[in-house]
């Protein structure tokens, strides 16, 4: 993990990125969009909860989680701002199928939570996306 954390890139950045990357690879773009609109566009949780049909408490939980991992609000904003484009263009590796989830990499129907599956079984993919995001973030800073 430490290898991809260059100068100025803290563990917090990596941890909050990982949280977002796992969600997107598991097929959840809604949380990413909602977090972006909350953190960058200043949209209120109640509006977003209605727009994306996420429970208000659930959404507040996601927001809290990503800020906690980032360490503070400003780092969370930075992470979402610099990674949003990359994350939006990702192709999820898990897709929804009738009755559950299917992993396109393992070629099987999942018996566990899709995010947990991605986090545990596809660390290489997750880390690759994280380092792509960090590379892009560094470039945009200079
Ligand atoms: Zn898999």
More confident residue, 10 or 49: 49
* pLDDT at residue 4 tops 90: no
Cβ–Cβ under 8 Å, residues 102 and 111: no
- Which ranges of 26-94 does DSSP label H, i.e. alpha helix? 30-39, 45-51, 56-70, 73-88
Q: What is the pLDDT of residue 139?
A: 86
114: CA distance to ligand 1 center in Å?
9
117: CA distance to ligand 1 center in Å?
6
Cβ–Cβ under 8 Å, residues 54 and 48: yes
More confident residue, 90 or 99: 90
135: CA distance to ligand 1 center in Å?
25
- Summarised one tens digit per residue, pLDDT across range 65-82 is 999 999 999 999 999 999
106: CA distance to ligand 1 center in Å?
4
């Amino acid at each position: 993990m430490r290898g991809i954390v260059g100068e100025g890139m803290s563990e917090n950045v990596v941890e909050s990125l990982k949280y977002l990357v796992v969600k997107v690879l598991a097929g959840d773009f809604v949380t990413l969009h909602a977090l972006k609109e909350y953190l960058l566009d200043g949209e209120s949780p109640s509006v977003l909860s209605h727009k994306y049909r996420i429970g208000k408490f659930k959404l507040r939980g996601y927001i809290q989680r990503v800020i906690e991992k980032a360490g503070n609000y400003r780092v969370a904003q930075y992470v979402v701002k610099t990674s949003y484009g990359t994350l939006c263009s990702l192709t999820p590796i898990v897709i929804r199928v009738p009755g559950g989830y299917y992993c396109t990499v393992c070629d099987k129907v999942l018996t566990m939570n899709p995010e947990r599956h991605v986090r545990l079984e596809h660390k290489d993919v997750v880390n690759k996306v994280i380092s792509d995001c960090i590379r892009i973030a560094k470039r945009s800073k200079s």
